[in-house]
Structure 1
Amino acid sequence: MTKLILDLDTGIDDTLALLYALASPEAQVIGITGTFGNVTMEQGVANDLALLALFGRPDIPVFAGIDHPSWASSFAVMPESGRFHGRNGTGNVEIPERSATTGCSRGVQTRTAVDFIVDSVHADETDELVIVPTGASTSIAAALAAAPDIADRARIVMMGGALTQPGNVTPFAEANIMQDPEASAELFASGTRITMIGLDVTTQVKLTREQAETYRETGTATGAFLSEMLAYYIDVTEEAHPTGVPGCNLHDPLAVAAALDPSLIDTFSCDIMVETEGAGRGRTIGDPARVTCPSGRTQVALAVDAERFVERFMERTLAFVRRCP
């Protein structure tokens, strides 16, 4: 059993990542920590609580993370993020309220996300815990700064960055890294074990319009919500990339899947640095200072078994949605 902490900025693909984690029998989600990016941290946490109720898992605790980049005193959603995820993070589709749930919704926890991450790594004696960040690196970097001893113990499988592909918000930068390049730079410099699931592989995994409609065919309110949300995501994606492969990318779900089954990806060992200045701000690239003395603790995914992943994603999530209201 793999224990997961999902560090989410809950937009559309974060919703799908949470769904996949809950639908995977080998996963135990021990907590969700909220960050900013696709939406504000507050909106993301509200989405997490509503989705956990909808999915029948209100027992999973949700912790508020840091709500702004380390280089700023506030945060505003980037226009492109708002375009792709809508004003509420779920494509302007309201998350259905579930009238009856099992377990007990505890709301947002009083303990901070940083404290929860540190305490969870300290408590993990079997190396079963994986932290999966799918938004800004701010809270994860803060946890490593607060407790440097966890760097040798933590395992991180993150969605972010690009090594062989151009960025998706600038020619160099991927969106999650660009939210807080300074925090991402600290994360990669920390020496903790990181697998970077970047645009190199997430742009290879697509969900089609026909697959999105199969959720509606379950006849559940959850399925209808997912289909409508995905229709929005696919429309925006195809409008933004009219010459690309139809459908939408499964960015964040692939990070969860790789955390649970590393055989889905092929990786290249490369110590990464993040540029924090100039036109290349936010770029993830090999660190020239560590070329002659590589740590071997950062792996970059460069290939993915896309067909096997998408087939597993659909099989698991459809079975889960059929059990939802």
Structure 2
Amino acid sequence: MKPVILDVDTGIDDALAIAYALNSPEIKIIGLTTCFGNGPVEYTTRNTLVVLEQLGKSVPVYSGADKPLSRPPKKFPTHVHGEDGLGNRVEKPPVREAESEGAVDYIINQVKQRPHEITIIAVGPLTNLALAVQKEPEIVSLVKEVVIMGGAVFVGGNTTPYSEANIFADPHAAECVFSSGLPVTIVGLDVTMKTLLPNAILADWRAAGREVSDFFADITSFYIQAYETFHPGIGGCALHDPLAVGVVIDPSFVKKETWNVKVVLEGEEMGRTVALSEGEQKIQICTQVEADRFLNHFLDRLF
């Protein structure tokens, strides 16, 4: 069982990733760290606690970065995730609160206490991880692996024609992580856009007659409606963040190539993830995915 820190900016696909991760025995989520991204960090922390309550799970939550390293914050994607970040489904505050320790210190302390054991799955902006590396560079050699949902290396972006949302939210943090020497695997739009959760599945979730499945059906319905505005007739939504979890559970879901990856930090192409053949080739980029097999695995585990 792999010990995992799951770093989230909890919107709707993060919620699906949390459920998938917590119901998969191959990994053990030892802590959830939160970042701004799909909403302010206060919202994403609250949403993480709300999702845990819906799932009936108890995992410590650590609040983290509230803004990018250098660039001004971008507008939060309320049109995709709702005003509250969870499809306008947050009806009351969670009972539990986040831990007093901050996300950055938690990441540093866990990695130092368990050298070469911790996997970090980061499915939001990479600010927490970048801050941890800047504060304690020695953790670079102590992390077992880092799997991120982010980037659009060989395909177009989803925030700009060039950039994926998580990288665009804090490109300087992404560049810091990619150039740090951390063992990074990129699960980007190159593969996540091939993982379609069909709208028809939501009827099955509602038919289960459980509060948790109704909750996930409601928030995912909001997400799919947003997808339809960008991709008319798509009939579902991509499982971006869950696929990053899936790659840790079963690496055979994807095929990878090794590249030197840089992030564009200025101009029209800010946030673009560029694969270079020169320089040190250390970043694993997922380029192919067995989408149907992954989808079935995800659905089997979700609730």
Superposed CA offset, 1:142-193 (max 9, x none) = 1011111111222110000011110101111100000011111111010110
Partner of residue 257 from structure 1, selected from 223, 239, 246: 246
Superposed CA offset, 1:181-226 (max 9, x none) = 1111111010110000000000000101111221111111111111
Matched, 1:7 2:7: yes
Matching of residues 1-325 of structure 1 within 5 Å: 1-58=1-58, 60-72=59-71, 75=73, 77-78=75-76, 81-94=77-90, 107-125=97-115, 127-154=116-143, 155-242=145-232, 245-287=234-276, 291-295=277-281, 297-317=282-302, 320=303
Aligned residues: 302
Q: Secondary structure at the match of 2:69?
A: coil
Whether the 8 Å contact between 2:151 and 2:188 is mirrored in structure 1 is yes
Superposed CA offset, 1:206-260 (max 9, x none) = 10111122111111111111111111111110121115x3210000000011012
State the partner residue of 1:102.
Answer: none
Whether the 8 Å contact between 1:6 and 1:133 is mirrored in structure 2 is yes
In structure 1, list runs of 5 or more residues that go unmatched: 99-104, 321-325
What is the CA distance between 1:97 and its match in structure 2?
A: 8.1
TM-score (norm 2): 0.95
Q: Over the residues paired in the alignment, what is the CA RMSD in angstroms?
A: 1.7
Which amino acid in 2 is paired with 1:274? V
Q: Secondary structure at the match of 2:151?
A: coil
Alpha-carbon distance in 2 for matches of 1:249, 1:96: 28
Superposed CA offset, 1:65-84 (max 9, x none) = 11001115x74533xx2111
Alpha-carbon distance in 2 for matches of 1:302, 1:292: 19
Alpha-carbon distance in 2 for matches of 1:46, 1:77: 19
Alpha-carbon distance in 2 for matches of 1:120, 1:97: 28
Q: Secondary structure at the match of 1:131?
A: strand
Identity of aligned residues (%): 37
